[in-house]
Amino acid sequence: MFDFFFNLPIFVQALIKGLAVIMVIFPIAGACSLAERKVAAWIQDRPGPNRAVVPWIAWIPFLGKFLQRLGVFHVMADGGKMLFKEDSLPGHVNKFYFIAAPILAMIPALTTVTVVPFGAYITGNTVVPLALAPLDIGILSVFAIGSLGVYSLILAGWASNSKYPFLGSVRASAQLISYELSMTLSVIPVFLWVNAPGREATLGFARVVEFQSQPGFWGGAWFGFLMPVSAFIFLVALFAETNRQPFDTVESESDLVGSFHTEYGAFKWGLFFVAEYSHMIVGSAVFILLFFGGWNPLPWVPLSDVAVWLHLVDQPVILGILSIAIFLGKVLGMIFFFMWVRWTVPRFRYDQVMKLGWQKLLPLAVINLLFYAVVIAFLQK
Amino acid sequence: MAVITVERKPLTFAERTYIPQIVGGLKTTFKHLVRKKQTLEYPEQRPAIPAGYRGVPTLVKDPNGREKCVSCQLCEFVCPPKAIRITPGEIPADQPDRAHVEKGPQAFDIDMLRCIYCGLCQEVCPEEAIFLQNQFSMSGYTRAEMVNHKDRLYELGGTLPDQHFKWDHKKAAAEHGNAH
């Protein structure tokens, strides 16, 4: 079976791999919408969506009831509604850009997924990361492509030809640009640390995870422990970049109705929705790769040790699946954290967002960078 | 009144970073996340109705199964949104068990699209014939369906315990020659 796969033309292999990743990302984005509703409900002492059920699954004695109570069929109901309701196109919009905006929102969301490694297996003594396109410039490409997402918001707001979307998109662009700066500055210490003259692919994520999997106390420590301030700045900036509470001034319904997607409905709105969740997933994945050990199950316990304990060193498929499960588990944990924070911290006002970004986070990121530059200069003298 | 000047303490560094407060908030929300759910799942689980609840107005019968309403029309007059319409009628002579009842309504309609559940009809009724009972949900597909007619009102109301037995006393008095 593996020989058959590896004998296929290279672009067919790439296509299958790409589809496999999309088939994982899309259901996760769908499940996230349900998780969002469920977590919101539980935090508010409600049971949450628990009514929809498909008859022949309801007949399964215990499982059917459990799935119904969990609300899994509400995902289908929501998705089906979004697909089949009228896809309205208001008369006052610029039609070309109005339709282009949600498509443009999906492109960076699905493109950044390709460079993020999501697991690893071991051949011989080397840990081989699993990724669609393990680029040498990993983090740079994520920042470069991920920040294109703001164009879709601007385009949507402008093409809607209505004031709330317009104001929302202006806010979105200002917010995303402000926090991108702190975000980039916060990851530089990590790459200063893992880099060395003459090494290859040192901006890639795989190298960062490899660095966090070394033996010894300092080698096995995740960057989240070595650089808590960096991790904190990155996390805050990530919340702002993904327009999540408490930084969702972009979508604050009390003053902006629905912001840039006010005029959107049905499937076009759904694309924005999926793009937002994909951004969250990719952002969480990057955060975990950089600061929380990637596919290593626990700090000071790298995947290679686990493979030796479980005798999986010569079982690339099983080890690969195990590492993907560990990584996805961490990503889903992060997504839960996003939702948890959403119902804990109230929304900042727009001026507070700007003040926090420019006057607090940016100076902190610069000081943090200088501090680690000096420390690393002494350590790696 | 003496004015007490409270010194406002400056925020500590930890407080100005927000982080301890956010962590505290996260703890609180997590407690709620795992706590017992506080809501009722409505159609299956019904709320406990407190005493004195003002639900849908209904007509009640006395323990002898006779209508208590004597169609005095006080409720019709007092009803603020004019939801009640009564057509007064005589008691037919061929009903010996209602012989001493003064009068009865021929028709009694309450338009539930107008009713504001104020309870003034219950308060004003001299015969204790109309009660706002526990039913809290009323629905229908047409306007006509939302008008409760007399039979429906008695069906909703049923029989409530009665302390007065007014018509029994009237009957007893008549049998003793209406002495006083």
* Residue-level pLDDT at A304: 74
Nearest of A280, A235, A234, A252 to residue A352 by alpha carbon: A252
Q: Among the ranges A220-229, B75-84, B101-110, which has the highest mean pLDDT value?
A: B75-84
Q: With both helix axes pointing from N to C terminus, report the angle between A95-115 and A138-146 in degrees, rounded to the nearest 10.
A: 170
**Chain B nearest CA to A76, separation (Å):** 22
Residue B15 lies in a domain: no
Residue B108 lies in a domain: yes
Residue A51 lies in a domain: no
Residue B66 lies in a domain: yes
Residue A141 C-alpha from the chain's centroid: 14
Q: How many domains are there within chain B?
A: 1
Residues of B in contact with A344 (CB under 8 A): 22, 25-26, 28-29
Q: How many domains are there within chain A?
A: 1
A344 and B CB contact within 8 Å: yes
Residues of B in contact with A46 (CB under 8 A): 37-39
Residues of B in contact with A39 (CB under 8 A): 33
pLDDT band at B84 (very low <50, low <70, confident <90, very high): very high
Question: Is the pLDDT reported for residue B166 higher than 70?
Answer: yes
Residues of A in contact with B35 (CB under 8 A): 45
* Residue-level pLDDT at A363: 92
Residue A311 lies in a domain: yes
Residue B40 lies in a domain: no
Residue B151 lies in a domain: yes
Q: What is the ipTM of this complex?
A: 0.78
Residue range of the domain that includes A247: 89-379
CA–CA gap between residue A349 and residue B88 (Å, rounded): 65
Residue B104 lies in a domain: yes
* Residue-level pLDDT at B179: 66
CATH of the domain at B152: 3.30.70.3270
Q: With both helix axes pointing from N to C terminus, report the angle between A316-342 and B19-34 in degrees, rounded to the nearest 10.
A: 100
B27 and A CB contact within 8 Å: no
Cβ–Cβ gap B28/A344 under 8 Å: yes
Neighbour tally for B56: CB within 10 Å: 20
Residue A118 lies in a domain: yes
* Residue-level pLDDT at B79: 93
* Residue-level pLDDT at B77: 93
Number of A–B residue contacts, CB under 8 Å: 36
CA–CA gap between residue A99 and residue A361 (Å, rounded): 36
CA–CA gap between residue B15 and residue B18 (Å, rounded): 5
Question: Is the pLDDT reported for residue B83 higher than 90?
Answer: yes
Is residue A260 a contact partner of residue A213, using CB atoms and an 8 Å limit?
no
- Taking only the tens of pLDDT, chain A with its 381 residues reads 567 777 778 888 888 888 888 888 778 877 888 888 888 999 998 888 888 888 887 788 888 888 888 888 888 888 888 888 888 888 888 888 888 888 888 888 888 888 888 877 777 777 777 777 777 788 888 888 888 888 888 888 888 888 888 888 888 888 888 888 888 899 888 888 887 777 776 788 888 887 787 777 777 788 888 888 889 999 999 888 888 878 877 777 777 777 778 888 788 888 888 888 888 888 888 898 888 888 888 887 777 777 778 777 777 778 888 888 888 889 889 999 998 998 888 888 888 888 888 998 899 999 999 998 898 888 877
Residue range of the domain that includes B143: 57-173
| H or E element at residue A128 | strand A126-130
CA–CA gap between residue A365 and residue A367 (Å, rounded): 6
Query: Which residue in A has a C-alpha nearest to residue B36's C-alpha?
Result: A45
pLDDT band at B180 (very low <50, low <70, confident <90, very high): low
Residue A107 lies in a domain: yes
Q: Tens digit of pLDDT for each residue in B43-53?
A: 888 888 998 89
**Chain A nearest CA to B10, separation (Å):** 19
Percent of chain B with pLDDT over 90: 38
Residue A343 lies in a domain: yes
